């Protein structure tokens, strides 16, 4: 597989997962537009790629507005001659339980994650269609968007919305030969570093040591580099028939998430009155109610860490 001659934009790629994506795309031959809200961080990331023999340019801008989206595409086209790949990774967190989440906290997260994905994809897809490019759109989701998580109303809404948009874009862009997929990463990040459950894995990663097999295999939890291979694959010609999918990856595990489908269907002549539901709901639907949130197995004793 090679991405030679391809041009990619990776939003939020100054550090962490986004940087790993940008570095892997460059390693596979793509020229990369690196984006971060902090200029020195973006420039350092681009310089690191170039030091390894890759091609990169930095754009320091906050993702969300149509102006930033236009600037990212403009720089890709003017610097490298086109645009073939977009990875929307930029994001922020403003966690809080529902009754303590302010309008500002909600709007900030939705603006960067959801609106930022929308504006960047709209601009990239417009260019790709106009240029006749069979492009690749890769949007980053989250297990929180798939299952929910305590204290993350805004983040869950944004990440679930991203996957919903991807399914729609796969339909709309099919005729143009442009694919759109969502990746659901599970990896050591600044966010997971604060969770005691992942402490042993984060410690190993920080020390440059292999993560315990319990994390890599049982939980599918690994490093940022464990996710980047899927990003490069979906960006390649080899994945031309893969579109509209939500694919999870982390550690030693890869998963294909299902699309929402009805799991119970029942009919009642004349419709479902309150009385009919009271009588039949517990047996028809009640036994099949779906769980919410992620459920982790107990940590083995040797991986337990004291809580701070």
Q: Which helix (H) or strand (E) holds 25?
A: helix 16-27
The pLDDT value given to residue 308: 59
Angle 153-173/116-131 helices, nearest 10 degrees?
10
> What is the distance between the alpha carbons of residues 23 and 72, in angstroms, rounded to a whole number?
18
169: its two tokens: 């874009």
pLDDT over threshold 80, residue 190: no
153-179 mean pLDDT: 98
Determine what percent of the chain is predicted with pLDDT higher than 90: 89
- Cβ-contact 137, 118 below 8 angstroms: no
pLDDT tens-digit readout, 212-263: 999 999 999 999 999 999 999 999 999 999 999 999 999 999 999 999 999 9
Q: Catalytic residue at 155?
A: yes
The single residue listed with the structure tokens 């989440």 is 101
Nearest to 127 by CA among 157, 83, 167: 83
pLDDT tens-digit readout, 109-124: 999 999 999 999 999 9
Q: Catalytic residue at 142?
A: yes
Mean pLDDT of the chain: 95
pLDDT-based confidence at 196, cuts 50/70/90? confident
pLDDT tens-digit readout, 43-66: 999 999 999 999 999 999 999 999
21-34 mean pLDDT: 98
The single residue listed with the structure tokens 């350092």 is 44
pLDDT-based confidence at 189, cuts 50/70/90? confident
- Cβ-contact 168, 178 below 8 angstroms: no
- Beta strand 179-185 with 136-140 is parallel
Q: Is 191 exposed, middle or buried (0-12, 13-18, 19+ CB in 10 A)?
A: middle
Annotated catalytic residue, options 6, 13, 21, 159: 159
The pLDDT value given to residue 1: 75
* φ/ψ of residue 300, rounded to 5: -60, 150
- Please give the order of strands across the beta sheet that includes 85-88: 55-60, 31-36, 7-10, 85-88, 136-140, 179-185, 246-250, 253-257
Taking CA atoms, 10 is separated from 19, 35, 78, 277, in Å, by 8, 6, 16, 49
Q: Catalytic residue at 159?
A: yes
Interior/surface letters 99-134, b for 16+ CB within 10 angstroms, e for the rest: eebeeebbebbbbbbbbbbbbbbebbbebbbeeebe
The pLDDT value given to residue 307: 65
Annotated catalytic residue, options 142, 215, 228, 236: 142
> What is the distance between the alpha carbons of residues 308 and 299, in angstroms, rounded to a whole number?
17
Annotated catalytic residue, options 155, 215, 228, 236: 155
The single residue listed with the structure tokens 């299902």 is 258
pLDDT over threshold 90, residue 193: no
């Amino acid at each position: 597989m090679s991405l030679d001659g391809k041009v990619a934009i990776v939003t939020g790629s100054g550090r962490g997962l986004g940087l790993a994506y940008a570095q892997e795309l460059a390693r596979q031959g793509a020229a990369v537009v690196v984006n971060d809200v902090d200029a020195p961080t973006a420039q350092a990331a681009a310089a690191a790629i170039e030091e390894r023999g890759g091609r990169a340019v930095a754009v320091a801008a906050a993702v969300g507005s149509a102006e930033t989206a236009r600037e990212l595409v403009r720089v890709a086209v003017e610097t490298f001659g086109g645009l073939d790949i977009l990875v929307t990774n930029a994001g922020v967190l403003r966690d809080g339980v529902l009754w303590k989440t302010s309008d500002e906290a909600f709007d900030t997260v939705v603006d960067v994650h959801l609106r930022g994905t929308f504006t960047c994809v709209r601009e990239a897809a417009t260019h790709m269609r106009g240029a006749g490019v069979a492009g690749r759109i890769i949007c980053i989701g989250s297990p929180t968007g798939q299952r929910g998580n305590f204290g993350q109303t805004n983040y869950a809404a944004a990440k679930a919305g991203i996957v919903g948009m991807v399914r729609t874009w796969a339909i709309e862009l099919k005729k143009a030969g442009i694919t759109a997929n969502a990746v659901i990463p599970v990896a050591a990040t600044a966010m997971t570093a604060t969770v005691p459950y992942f402490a042993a894995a984060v410690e190993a990663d920080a020390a440059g040591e292999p993560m315990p097999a319990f994390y890599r295999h049982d939980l599918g939890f690994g490093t940022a580099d464990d996710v980047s291979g899927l990003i490069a694959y979906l960006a390649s010609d080899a994945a031309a028939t893969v579109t509209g999918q939500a694919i999870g990856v982390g550690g030693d595990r890869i998963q294909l998430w299902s699309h929402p489908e009805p799991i119970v269907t029942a009919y009642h002549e004349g419709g479902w009155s309150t009385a009919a539901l009271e009588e039949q709901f517990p047996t028809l639907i009640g036994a099949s109610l779906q769980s919410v949130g992620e459920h982790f197995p107990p940590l083995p004793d040797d991986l337990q860490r004291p809580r701070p």
